[in-house]
Structure 1
Amino acid sequence: MKKLCFATNNRHKLAEVSQMLEGKYELLTLQDIGCHEDLAEEQDTLEGNSRQKAEYVWDNYNVSCFADDTGLEVEALNGAPGVYSARYAGPQRSDADNINKLLDSLQGQENRRARFRTSITLILDGQQHQFEGIVTGSIATGWKGDKGFGYDPVFIPDGHERTFAQMSAEEKNAISHRGRATQELVRFLKGLEV
């Protein structure tokens, strides 16, 4: 089985993607390859951040890998928090603080349209490829559900009445931004199999 590193320290993301790769690849963590440093996200786009992380792993550990960056883009906030989604409420990167700040920012706002966007950069044997997944929806007026992570308790995808945090992992993966980007990645990887 071919080895592939997912350049993340987020165990929730790792679990989601492992489930989607269905044992086709042996998914390695940053710890598995001996990478214990925090990967920098210094770019001003999701694509730039995912590329920066993947290139760092490839350049320093010579391991085929992929990295992602995800942002929640809210119409009424001119696309914020966007690339700053994980640290929207500050460097502590607290999901609860981020959600509370978002809900405060949208207080009294009728337009609650938003989209989640994920960019994945894959470096396979030195060759770089990018994939994107988008899901549109709206921001709930309060927290709903206790599954998932990040903004899941307040994001209601179009065509649904429940937030991501009220869905099972299987339901969410079938329609989520990361799920869609990962499906593109998986389709590409399966297309390479001889």
Structure 2
Amino acid sequence: MTASEQRLELAVASGGFERLNTAFRPPGRRGSRSATARENGSRNEPSHTATWERVLVFRGIGEPGSDQQPGISLESEMRRARRNLRVGTFSYGITYFVTRFTLIVTSAIVAADQNLGGGAVSRLVDWVPALSLLVAIGTAFDTWYKPQQKWKGFMESRDALADLLIQVNQGLPEEEARTRFAELRRQHRRNNVF
């Protein structure tokens, strides 16, 4: 029995097979053919063992008594976290600037409603009640969601993680890197997830 078959048997015995049933990758994707199918040249025969093994490794089901997750290295987890922080930074940055710009423009129109009657933008006077509501909702959203604080926090965490990745590539010991990465995650959650 190969190591991948042993991991599959372990997953089935521990109930992991049923939990991961929705993660089955259909045949035809890269790496989904069995060794027998590859030897025979068949492209249509799926390998449930190979496919499940790939999913199990991705999900991190390991050998009994092991805290190491096969297939997931510290560096790959750090790169995944960096990608998530980049997306979060971009999203909160866009949200912050769009919200601020909209609030500035709409509040200026609402404040100048008496002076807009005779000019080229006199049609905006009809929209002042709706724009007032938009300003109130936008201000409440900005106060509640705090996109500026989250944007800054995500930027700081992203930069700190990028620096840690550089240190790992330059030979930082794995245990120290793991400790710093865990502390960075705790600090990010404490400061930016509210």
- Which of the five TM-score ranges fits, normalised by the shorter chain? under 0.3
**Which of the two has greater helix per residue?**
2
Between Structure 1 and Structure 2, the one with more strand by share is 1
Q: TM-score of the superposition, structure 2-length normalised? A: 0.21
TM-score, normalised via structure 1 length: 0.21
